[in-house]
Amino acid sequence: MPRLAGLVSSEPVTIDPTSAARLAEGGLELRLVDPSGGDFDGWIQADYRGFHDERVSGERVAAFRAAAAGRRTVGVFDADAAEPGTPVATTQTWVAPLTLPGGAQVDLWSIAAVTVAPTHRRRGIARALLEGELRTAAANGVPIAGLTVSEATIYGRYGFGVATFGDDLVIETRRAGWEGPETRGRIQFVEPERLLADARAVADAVQRARPGAIRYDDFIQGRSIGVVGEEKAKIRTVRYDDADRAPQGFLGYEVRSGGEDFTKHDVLVWELLGATDEASAALWRYLLELDLVATVHAPGRPVDDPVVWQLGDLRALSRQRKDRLWLRILDVPAVLAARRYAARVEIVLDVEDPYGLGAGRFLLEAGADGAGRVRALDGAAPEGAASAALTIADLSSIVLGGVSPAELARAGRIVERTPGAALALERAFAAERAPWLILGF
């Protein structure tokens, strides 16, 4: 049974007995899958099938096995199915540090690979899986859970709220021009396997400074630069070294055919990351000045990416904003006390949680030093304190500073118990930078 890094307890992380019992009533078995065992082959096929991807074979299965060794892999099995060794539902979890405003990090229960076979819909399987993961995370002292979603209508009912956004950028290179800064370093091609260590170092530096970023393992980081994954043969990688020859940024990109016109290739950015603004600028300029390229597509960029202001023609750029990281607070005092605050605040928060995990009345206080103090309240609010009521999903949305409490109040999602409470939250919860999930998971 898996022991997940970052947990206080060294005990194995087992399945949730409540969800297991509920599924057993319907003739289904919830169990852990050993990545080194035969069940894992069926599990990975079920995972890929759930997202309408092609079958996985050979080297890719081996890579997934290696990555799963540090994760908790769960499947739901139907003994009466034609292929009982292939699960009818999947999920996978691991613990990773999540950066909060101010630079502190908390453990995040990262949830991925949530699938249910179309043959087993409407049997309560997804509910059992997600509720079980939340109870398991809370029981192991992990204060917050997170995931990225393929369907945005599902997860709010479990207390998740969207906490970060990303911009999908499309830039017409011939029209854009470059009005960004000159840089003093050097860009050079580096093969993915050799680049990985430097990419991890750059990513770690960015993660420590950017709210909403989490630390990735070699598998997730490696996929974005072509070390592993089905697209690895298509990805080209370059590194930016500063004037002192220290690696400060990297880029993984794919050049796609523009059809019959060889001068109109399209570039897809898999990852562009700079530990410094200079590194990011140099990598963007490299992309925009590639020969025989007409457009650059860069999905999931931070909403405050400065490249928008480095183009000669702003109208060469189009962007579409999409949700990225969804969070679900499990321990309100632990999470709110860990982050820093941009303004003084004394506010009572009445938090509603359908599962009771984060429900309660809490007093949040922050002074001029930005440190937060949180305690549960049994009685009335202190005299002069602001007061507001909200759901655990909405508290999870605002915790990184990427969603406006005032906007949620205008939408009727945050209820002001005292006038100006939403504005007090707005000022206090503001982050030094827009939160950003660097890579999906």
* For residue 222, pLDDT beyond 80: yes
No. of helices (H) and no. of strands (E), the chain: 12, 19
Of 322, 349, 373, which one is at a domain's C-terminal end? 322
Which pLDDT score is estimated for 151? 87
Strand 144-147 versus strand 326-329 pairing type: antiparallel
* For residue 4, pLDDT beyond 70: no
Q: Which residue has the higher pLDDT, 409 or 59?
A: 409
Same domain (yes/no): 307, 341? no
Same domain (yes/no): 138, 176? no
Which pLDDT score is estimated for 231? 87
Of the candidates 164, 152, 69, 47, the residue with the CA atom closest to the CA atom of residue 108: 164
Which pLDDT score is estimated for 10? 47
CA distance 393 to 146: 12
pLDDT, tens only, 235-280: 999 999 999 999 999 999 999 998 888 999 999 999 999 999 999 9
pLDDT, tens only, 133-167: 999 999 999 999 999 998 888 999 999 999 999 99
pLDDT, tens only, 383-426: 999 999 999 999 999 999 999 999 999 999 999 999 999 999 99
Q: Residue 25 domain-assigned?
A: yes
How large a percentage of the chain has pLDDT more than 90? 90
Same domain (yes/no): 98, 194? no
Instruction: Domain of residue 73: give its range.
Output: 17-142
* For residue 8, pLDDT beyond 60: no
Same domain (yes/no): 172, 318? yes
pLDDT, tens only, 172-207: 999 999 999 999 999 999 999 999 999 999 999 999
CB-based contact 51:114 (threshold 8 Å): no
How large a percentage of the chain has pLDDT more than 70? 97
pTM over 0.85: yes
Same domain (yes/no): 358, 415? yes
If pLDDT is split at 50, 70 and 90, which confidence band does 1 have?
Answer: very low
Same domain (yes/no): 249, 298? yes
Task: Name the average pLDDT for the chain.
Answer: 95
Q: Residue 437 domain-assigned?
A: no
CA distance 149 to 160: 10
* For residue 2, pLDDT beyond 70: no
Q: Residue 283 domain-assigned?
A: yes
Same domain (yes/no): 250, 387? no
Whichever domain contains 376, its CATH number is: 3.30.1050.10
Of the candidates 357, 353, 414, the residue with the CA atom closest to the CA atom of residue 386: 414
Same domain (yes/no): 213, 316? yes
Which pLDDT score is estimated for 5? 55
Number of domains in the chain: 3
Cβ neighbours around 304 below 10 Å, total: 11
Of 107, 142, 177, which one is at a domain's C-terminal end? 142
- Give the DSSP letter of residue 340: B
CA distance 272 to 438: 9
Q: Residue 9 domain-assigned?
A: no
Mapped onto helix, strand or coil, the DSSP state of residue 65 is helix
Q: What does the pLDDT average to over 328-349?
A: 98
Whichever domain contains 69, its CATH number is: 3.40.630.30
Q: What does the pLDDT average to over 316-340?
A: 98
Same domain (yes/no): 127, 42? yes
CB-based contact 81:123 (threshold 8 Å): no
What is the rounded radius of gyration, in angstroms, for the C-alpha atoms of the chain?
23
* 19-33, 50-64, 324-338, 347-361: least confidently modelled range: 50-64
Same domain (yes/no): 132, 172? no
Same domain (yes/no): 317, 338? no
Q: Residue 156 domain-assigned?
A: no
Q: Which residues of 128-151 are buried (b: 16+ CB within 10 A; e: fewer)?
A: bbbbbbbbbbbebebbbbbbbbee
Q: Residue 357 domain-assigned?
A: yes
Same domain (yes/no): 362, 423? yes
Q: Residue 115 domain-assigned?
A: yes
Q: What does the pLDDT average to over 104-133?
A: 97
Q: Residue 149 domain-assigned?
A: no
